[in-house]
Each structure stands twice: as structure tokens, then as C-alpha cells.
């Protein structure tokens, strides 16, 4: 009986230790834009944006920009818009 209780105490101590380690690791990990900007040191600061568009619009944008990925098509379209908006 004493051996079983000792094993349970050791397992509980290990569980508490692992939980504390996970908590510490989560606090050290950057989230969202901090993580993205860490991956691109010395480059422009990036921001993660999430949007909802109709599928037809996305397909038309991909065809017009001649890009395979939606991300690149949106980047190209926004860049073009901002470049031409400054000319007006």
C-alpha cells in the first residue's frame, strides 16, 4: 500500500512539473504578429490579416493578377492599389 501511494505521489509531482513547464513555455512563445516579425528580422513589419471574400471575387482576383495563391494575389492587388492611390 505504501508503495502504491509513493508511486502516485511521484506521478502527481511529475504531472505538476510538466504543467508548470508548459506554462513557462507558453509565456516565452510570441504569438501572432510578434511571431511573424521574429521570422523576418530586418525586414518590414508584417501584420496578419483575416478576411472573408466571395469565392467568385477571389477567383477573379487570382486570374487577373496571374497568381496561384490567394495570399500573393491579395498582396499584389493591395500593393498596386496603394501605389496608384498615391498618384491621385
Within 13 Å, how many C-alpha atoms sit on residue 85's CB side? 6
pTM over 0.75: no
Q: What is the pLDDT of residue 29?
A: 59
Q: What is the pLDDT of residue 64?
A: 93
Q: What is the pLDDT along the chain (88 residues), one digit of tens a residue?
A: 788 888 888 899 999 988 888 877 776 655 555 655 565 666 667 677 888 999 999 999 999 999 888 888 888 888 888 888 876 5
Q: What is the pLDDT of residue 59?
A: 93
Q: What is the pLDDT of residue 56?
A: 94
Amino acid at each position: 500500500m505504501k508503495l502504491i501511494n509513493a508511486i502516485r505521489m511521484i506521478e502527481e509531482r511529475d504531472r505538476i512539473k510538466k504543467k508548470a513547464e508548459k506554462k513557462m513555455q507558453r509565456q516565452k512563445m510570441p504569438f501572432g504578429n510578434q511571431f511573424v516579425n521574429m521570422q523576418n528580422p530586418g525586414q518590414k513589419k508584417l501584420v496578419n490579416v483575416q478576411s472573408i471574400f466571395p469565392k467568385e471575387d477571389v477567383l477573379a482576383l487570382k486570374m487577373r493578377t496571374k497568381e496561384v495563391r490567394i495570399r500573393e494575389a491579395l498582396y499584389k492587388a493591395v500593393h498596386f492599389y496603394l501605389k496608384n492611390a498615391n498618384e491621385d
